[in-house]
Structure 1
Amino acid sequence: MTFTLSTTIKVPSAVSALSLGPGEELCVGCDDGSVRWYSLPSTKVSRAVKSLRDEISSIVWTRPKKNEDASVWVASGRKIFRFPRTSQQMIMSIEDASCSIVAGEDEEDLLNEAGWLRLLNLSENGKFLAFGSDSGSVGIVDISSNKITHMRNSHTTVCGCVRFVPDRPSELLSGGYDSALLHFDIGQGGILSRFDIAAPPPTSQGVSLSPPFVLSIAINDAGLLAASTADGRVWLGGGGEKRPATSQVGKKKRSRKWEGLKEDEGLWLQVADGPVVATAFRESGQLFTCSLLGVLSEYKVSRDAQALLQATQVWSSSVTSVEKVNTMAIGHTWLVVGGFGEDEKGVVEVWRHGDQGTQPTS
């Protein structure tokens, strides 16, 4: 069983960010600066944040602790806000944020859109929040002090995605519109490794019109990397994957640093005709991708007898009411896709694992 469309949620403005939290509660951010919470499968708004003025570019849930409920970090413009998961107020505003951080690198960033944030990611230990910006800079926030540290190196243009390497809290990966993947040591602020992606050779259909901008990155718990590009491809980086020592061929010791950017241990997949805007690994290990035009695909990733990576597509479908996809989130039960429809208003499609049919649009 895989995912089938369960329901559709419509909102006034284009959906720009999605995140599934504890209990797979859904948080939806829009380009008008608003944020809405839903307790799936209900399509009724459970609480909301009215306009934060700038587009919501990213939302990240914190993990609940013994004496602390989960909350959400929201990136809007150059600022990062933290809002409680629960609140006595059904509709919150900027003043209700428990924390507000300006993440612009310098005065110039604060005066133009180059400093706008693109994506947030929370470290496994919950101590650091990473961000990338339109200026190409990559930084982290120490949550205990709200201190911001920028990496010494940056992308030459937009940094569209950041991701901490699982089980390596001091290592961070970023992807940019300069077609580069940068691997940082956040303590030193320098680059540990990098991978510059080249355009694929021409085919019988000609040359792709889109450069290989990096649009999304995902890393599973074992350290396997998936990076999607604007020319319809996904690169699987297996050099940093932890593998069980079931045989001498598959045996691999833990290295001093993550080695996921080794080009000779990677595999290219052609997954769409246009930009692949989102990638995500599900708990069970399958890789999911979504293209700008809403083509959803699921891949089973494994290794052959020589321990070489291989990927097999096991499912594919397409959205029905999203004209252009901006974002995707996946959990145990739900796969959620957001963007805008033909009327340019926001649309969220909620797909359920194992569902056998659709429900009416709401």
Structure 2
Amino acid sequence: MSTAPEATISIPSPVSALSLGPNDTLCVGSEDGSVRWYNLPSTKVIKAAKLLGAEIASIAWQLSKKNEPVAIWVASGRQAICMPADLQKIIATVDDASASVELGQDEDDVLNELSISENGKQLAFTSDSGCVGIVDLSSHAITRMKSRHNTVCGSVKFIPDRPSELVSGGYDSALLHFDTAQGTILSRLDISAPPPSEGISLSPPFVLSVTVNPAGLVAASTADGRVWVGGGGEKRPISKKKRSRKWEGLREDEGFWLQVADGPVVSSTFSDSGRLFTCSLLGVITEYKVKRGEDETLQATKGWSVVAPTLEKVNAMAASQSRVVVGGFDKDGKGIVQIFQAT
């Protein structure tokens, strides 16, 4: 693993969202409401969407059954905006959007993460009010879950192979697992702070990111420097356990904690079934291999770790099988994207 980035991209405004699509097509969203597309490893902008309104909080790819890009959905302020993938314009505006759905319920209720179901039929969203909801992508009908987080909800992911189940994470230090058809909570995990060590008081364990791999493993990063990995919902080829009626990924007795950083872990993401990447606010990227030991106990082995140079603070991370991308801003407040080889 090289400690130097494969490439660095500079943009005028701080980076606020990243998403890697098929063939490592990178979408970069920034605080000034613009989105830029790149075909990695090239750092040349291939197209951009400008003046989408507020800061870009999240970008989600909508793919066809053949894994080809259909569109990207962008969270900007209270709106989820859809930009078609085959847009021919080099510089597009909100007028070129194929859809725009207002999801925030009042002026302060801005969107955070967007996530698209495996079957491509639903878009999940979270917002500052703690709301978790879904949008039917054929009708744009909105369904909000009957329960919500007590404060900001920043993260949401669908459970693979379970299109009517999703998991969300909030600043109330809770992970909630929903049945989207009923709008009800199926399970939850309330995270408590660890006992203070050597008198050091860290941030509360707000959940800053949630990731679920194709086998149903879940990982959640917190503001107090930790990552929780849960294996209760993992599909195992040799398992004698019958598939449960609902995903059991939030079972506390089936999970463990990783101490990753001294400060907030802004992002965690699975790139494939065995590798988990984490990134701290100050740009420390770490790889973990998560697997089961001979006794079937889930464990994580720390791999490589690298510090992203020139980044003052990291706001977002994305990973594929071959690359890890982080974005934020430099000491002058300008946007920076750094791309690393993941092997």
Q: Structure 1 stretch 42-51 or stretch 157-166: which is displaced more?
A: 42-51
Provide TM-score, normalisation by structure 1: 0.92
How far off its partner does 1:308 sit? 1.4
Is 1:216–1:279's contact at 8 Å kept on the other side of the alignment?
yes
- Structure 2 Cα separation of the partners of residues 78 and 208 of structure 1: 34
Is 1:242–1:252's contact at 8 Å kept on the other side of the alignment?
no
Q: Deviations over 1:140-183 (max 9, x none)?
A: 00001000000000001000100001111000100000000000
- Structure 2 Cα separation of the partners of residues 29 and 69 of structure 1: 17
Q: How does 1:248-267 map to 2 (within 5 A)?
A: 251-267=240-256
In structure 2, stretches of 5+ residues that fail to align are none
Alignment partner, residue 297 of structure 1: 286
CA 350–42 in structure 1, closer or farther in 2 if over 3 Å, else same: same
Is 1:2–1:315's contact at 8 Å kept on the other side of the alignment?
no
Q: Which runs of 4+ in 1 moved over 6 A?
A: none
How far off its partner does 1:236 sit? 0.6
- Structure 1 Cα separation of the partners of residues 263 and 125 of structure 2: 26
Q: Which of 198, 208, 217 matches 2:201?
A: 208
Alignment partner, residue 357 of structure 1: none
Q: Deviations over 1:299-352 (max 9, x none)?
A: 111222322111110111110011100000011222110000000110000112
Question: Are positions 1:238 and 2:231 aligned together?
Answer: yes
How far off its partner does 1:206 sit? 2.1
Alignment partner, residue 327 of structure 1: 316
Q: Which amino acid aligns with 2:6?
A: S
Provide TM-score, normalisation by structure 2: 0.97
How far off its partner does 1:284 sit? 4.9
- Structure 2 Cα separation of the partners of residues 306 and 234 of structure 1: 23
CA 239–3 in structure 1, closer or farther in 2 if over 3 Å, else same: farther
DSSP 3-state at the match of 1:62? strand
How far off its partner does 1:2 sit? 7.0
Is 1:208–1:231's contact at 8 Å kept on the other side of the alignment?
no
- Structure 1 Cα separation of the partners of residues 5 and 67 of structure 2: 37
Alignment partner, residue 164 of structure 1: 158
Question: Are positions 1:223 and 2:212 aligned together?
Answer: no
DSSP 3-state at the match of 1:70? strand
Q: Which amino acid aligns with 2:223?
A: A
- Structure 1 Cα separation of the partners of residues 24 and 228 of structure 2: 28
Q: Which has the higher contact order (CA 8 A, sep 6+)?
A: 1
Is 1:3–1:335's contact at 8 Å kept on the other side of the alignment?
no
DSSP 3-state at the match of 1:95? helix
How far off its partner does 1:209 sit? 2.5
Q: Which amino acid aligns with 1:133?
A: S
How far off its partner does 1:298 sit? 0.6
Q: How does 1:318-357 map to 2 (within 5 A)?
A: 318-354=307-343
CA 90–313 in structure 1, closer or farther in 2 if over 3 Å, else same: same
Task: Say how many residue pairs are matched.
Answer: 343
DSSP 3-state at the match of 1:269? strand
- Structure 1 Cα separation of the partners of residues 89 and 291 of structure 2: 47
Q: Which amino acid aligns with 1:21?
A: G
How far off its partner does 1:20 sit? 0.7
Q: Deviations over 1:20-56 (max 9, x none)?
A: 1121111000001011011111111110011212000
Q: Which amino acid aligns with 1:257?
A: K
Q: Structure 1 stretch 345-354 or stretch 170-179: which is displaced more?
A: 345-354
RMSD: 1.5
Q: How does 1:278-289 map to 2 (within 5 A)?
A: 278-289=267-278
- Structure 2 Cα separation of the partners of residues 66 and 7 of structure 1: 29
Is 2:272–2:321's contact at 8 Å kept on the other side of the alignment?
yes
Q: Which amino acid aligns with 1:195?
A: L
Question: Are positions 1:33 and 2:33 aligned together?
Answer: yes
Is 1:2–1:353's contact at 8 Å kept on the other side of the alignment?
no
Q: Deviations over 1:209-258 (max 9, x none)?
A: 2000000011111111100000000001111111122xxxx533211100
- Structure 2 Cα separation of the partners of residues 333 and 241 of structure 1: 24
